[in-house]
Amino acid sequence: MRKILLAAWLIILAIAVVPLEAQELQRQALPFSVWLDFTALVKKNPTRMALPIWLESITSEHPRLQPGDPQTTVFRLRLRRSGLVSKELHLRLLFQDDPVSWPSVTGWTETGVMRFSSGPLGAGLGLPNSASLLIPADQIDYIDITAIGDGSAIRGAFVSSATKLEVTSTIDLAGAGGFVDPFGKLADAPPQANDSYLFGRVRAALLAEPTKVASENPVVLDFQLDRQPLLAVVAFEVLDTDIAVPPRISVNAITVGAVALQLPDLADPAYRGDAVPRRAELQYKYAGWLHCERIVPASILRAGVNQLSVSVARGTQPVAIRALEIQLKYPWEGSPPGEAR
């Protein structure tokens, strides 16, 4: 019996040390998608790019409706209707979110009828940002991406044909429906108007509107608890953060630590690498809102008034945060065996 066990162990060891065969690197095909680098397109004699079947051409112009009007840049995407592959388009626009350029996206017919309008995008925060739009393109002949200025505020756009998929969810706890981002970016978190309770969890919104955070100007919020919870989680969305040095939080003057970011696929064009003095590696930021969260030990919370601080490390550039909320776990009668009641 011992010899049989020894032989089996040797076989397992032999299998474990067999090297895996080298995997072939395959380039993922994107026949119905395109990345439009508008920075390159505005240069003289831009490099020709391969376009999907639904996109006929891309042009840019600088119209002035009246003498003295500010310069405006329009990037025009002329569409080619191609049946089911162009009924609906997903457009992720990357832009500088400042109060001057105010980019917008509109869709038009050849006869000049506007069928789609995004309205001004961004919140004027002065930070790189991105916005996702679903455009009903089956009745549109061209899409205009417009910004005030020379066009430098528009970095680029990822545009792809979109299709509808069936999703199954529970009746009582159905998640918010909507678009599934191709790079796995979580959907924006709309702030809730009221606190909510479920299975011993209390969820409360502390800050809804976008607010800038700088190293010398942290965001400080007071909130009141009726009693100490068993566990707490702070979550919010952050814009244009250094993904290696995300914001950190403190509660009641005790440093809790940096938040954990929920990062999309690294293929996402919203990642941007910049060289930073006295730093060996590139500083990678994400031009868009990212969800983040941090567990807060219950021991540092107390009944009564508590203070939460969100800050960025000294020497890092400002970010913006929004949709900040806290979840508090309390005992409940239906808790599983062994859980505190």
Q: What is the DSSP track for 296-317? A: E-GGG--SEEEEEEEE--TTSP
Q: Tell me if 108 is assigned to some domain.
A: yes
Q: Tell me if 204 is assigned to some domain.
A: yes
Residue 58 shares a structural domain with residue 149: yes
* Average pLDDT taken over every residue of the chain: 86
Residue 246 shares a structural domain with residue 146: no
pLDDT attached to residue 264: 95
Q: Which amino acid is at 196?
A: S
Percent of the chain, pLDDT > 90?
53
Residue 154 shares a structural domain with residue 253: no
Q: Tell me if 105 is assigned to some domain.
A: yes
CATH number at residue 108: 2.60.120
CATH number at residue 319: 2.60.120.1200
For 85, the domain range is 33-161
137, 161, 185: which is the final residue of a domain? 161
**185-196: per-residue pLDDT in tens?**
988 877 777 889
Confidence of residue 9 (pLDDT cuts 50, 70, 90): low
Residue 217 shares a structural domain with residue 318: yes
Residue 205 shares a structural domain with residue 319: yes
Percent of the chain, pLDDT > 70?
87
Confidence of residue 245 (pLDDT cuts 50, 70, 90): very high
Question: What's the rounded Cα separation, in Å, for the pair 136 and 141?
Answer: 11
Residue 217 shares a structural domain with residue 303: yes
Domain count of the chain? 2
Q: Tell me if 15 is assigned to some domain.
A: no
Q: Which amino acid is at 218?
A: P
- Highest mean pLDDT among 3-17, 40-54, 246-260 belongs to 246-260
Residue 226 shares a structural domain with residue 302: yes
161, 187, 217: which is the final residue of a domain? 161
Residue 237 shares a structural domain with residue 148: no
Q: Tell me if 313 is assigned to some domain.
A: yes
Residue 156 shares a structural domain with residue 203: no
**26-52: per-residue pLDDT in tens?**
888 888 899 999 877 766 776 777 888
Q: Tell me if 75 is assigned to some domain.
A: yes
142, 161, 180: which is the final residue of a domain? 161
Residue 200 shares a structural domain with residue 154: no
Q: Tell me if 27 is assigned to some domain.
A: no
Confidence of residue 275 (pLDDT cuts 50, 70, 90): confident
Residue 214 pairs in a beta bridge with 217
Q: What are the respective helix, strand and coil percentages of the chain, to the nearest 5?
A: 10, 40, 50
Q: Tell me if 25 is assigned to some domain.
A: no
Q: Which amino acid is at 260?
A: A
- Highest mean pLDDT among 60-64, 86-90, 247-251, 279-283 belongs to 247-251
Residue 52 shares a structural domain with residue 149: yes
Confidence of residue 340 (pLDDT cuts 50, 70, 90): low
Long-range contacts of 114-123 (CB under 8 A, 24+ apart): 115/139, 115/140, 116/140, 116/143, 121/93, 121/95, 121/97, 122/95, 122/97, 122/98, 123/97, 123/210, 123/320
Window from 40-44, 162-166, 288-292 with minimum mean pLDDT? 40-44
pTM: 0.85
Residue 124 shares a structural domain with residue 237: no
